A = this chain, B = another copy of it.
Amino acid sequence: MSASVQQTSQRAREASRVLGRLDRRHKDRALAAVAEGLRESSAALSSANEADLARGRDNGMSRALLDRLRLTPQRVEALAAAVEEIIGLEDPVGRVVQGRTLPNGLRLSQVTVPLGVVGAIYEARPNVTVDIAALALKSGNAAILRGGSAAQSTNETLLSIIRQALATTSVPVDAVQSIDAFGREGATELMTTRGSVDVLIPRGGGELIQHVVQNARVPVIETGEGNVHIFLDATADPEQAREIVLNAKMSRPSVCNAAETLLIHSQAEQSGREVLRALHAAGVVLHVDPRADAWLPAERSANAEVTEVTAEHFATEFLDLELAVGVVDSLDEAIDHIRRHTTGHTEAIVTDSVAHAERFIAEVDAAAVVVNASTRFTDGGQFGLGAEVGISTQKMHARGPMGLGELTTTKWVVRGEGQIRD
């Protein structure tokens, strides 16, 4: 590890030792100071952000990416409000998970404690800087941040606001640090040096996440890739099917719980026809197999392309108004297809058969399986879990929407008066 990243990591470790022992009041006061700092520095943030936006435009950044990068006064207010919402959440630290007095009189308890140092590697979305910093603080963890270089000026200003706010509180300033100054190499070091962080959370598109997962030598929580399927079974209610598919594809196509593939039972012709017509009419680009093609109206709208579906379409997370469509002859065929293509995020069935619903629930291996509802519900807020750290698509430690609790581990505490083992 280079001196720079090593020093950052060392300072984070030391800060985490102080922060990890602070009670909720002190952490909440620090969060309040951060929220206040953000509001007070709205103008400074806007001008730093303007510099990033100008650079982005010069570099030909897409409109969508520029929009994600943009920090308007309203968005700064929303960031501050989000921090204040975290103040309202329960402290995930110090919860006694289980405990008992053993026959030999030992008092045993398993207590939640912070993980220690949380690393985050993410793209040019300034909100993630505040988001991760606030979630880490509340859960007693120090944070080391690495944001996308396109948001460098904005992130620098955000970091300085957060650290200035912390300087007025009992939380050590080094509880939130950035390694942006150490460039790509710094990020690689953080990822590959065991002991630098206790957990690394990549936030962003599939490519970023896969890069981190493939290269990290430190523990990672894999989040967010969603090649989400909906299967319309033979007994699907046509109206329900149409509403669910349109909602899952169209309500917010750019997010991980949006549907990317629609599988239709060959006996669900009425549902199939209704759903495909509605999608086509709504302007969704469809990649269809020949049987699905036959269910589309002969006269096609000029607004929305229809092409023959390929193997690659079925493997693609479009994150756009685009959908792969296949017709299958059985539940087994649908489950097989999903098994081959799932990213383990969310998979849904629309059916009126109890037996099929239960088989789908049992046999599909994903963080969330949904029966007769939109896939868009897989979300910490929707599930009522409070602030969301991300949606884990891995099986270890956390699966599905992750709350603050997933940024903790446990410690066994054993209290005795001289007990020894036989």
Contact = CB atoms under 8 A, between A and B. Distances in A.
Interface residues of A, number: 65
A208 interface: no
Contacts of A371: 413-416
Contacts of A416: 370-373
A378 interface: yes
A108 interface: yes
Contact of A415 (B115, B247, B372): B372
Contact of A420 (B219, B247, B369, B397): B247
A396 B396 CA distance: 8
A114 B219 CA distance: 21
A197 to B, nearest CB: 11
Interface in A404-420: 409-420
A188 interface: no
A292 to B, nearest CB: 22
A17 B363 contact: yes
Contacts of A395: 115-116, 198-199, 219, 409
Interface stretch (A79-87, A179-187, A237-245): A237-245
A421 interface: yes
Contacts of A361: 411, 413
Given A251-B421, A418-B240, A421-B376, A383 B412 contact: yes
Contacts of A394: 219
Q: Which 8 A-B pairs have CB atoms at the shortest separation, nearest pair first?
A: A373-B416, A247-B420, A240-B418, A395-B409, A376-B421, A368-B412, A397-B397, A373-B419
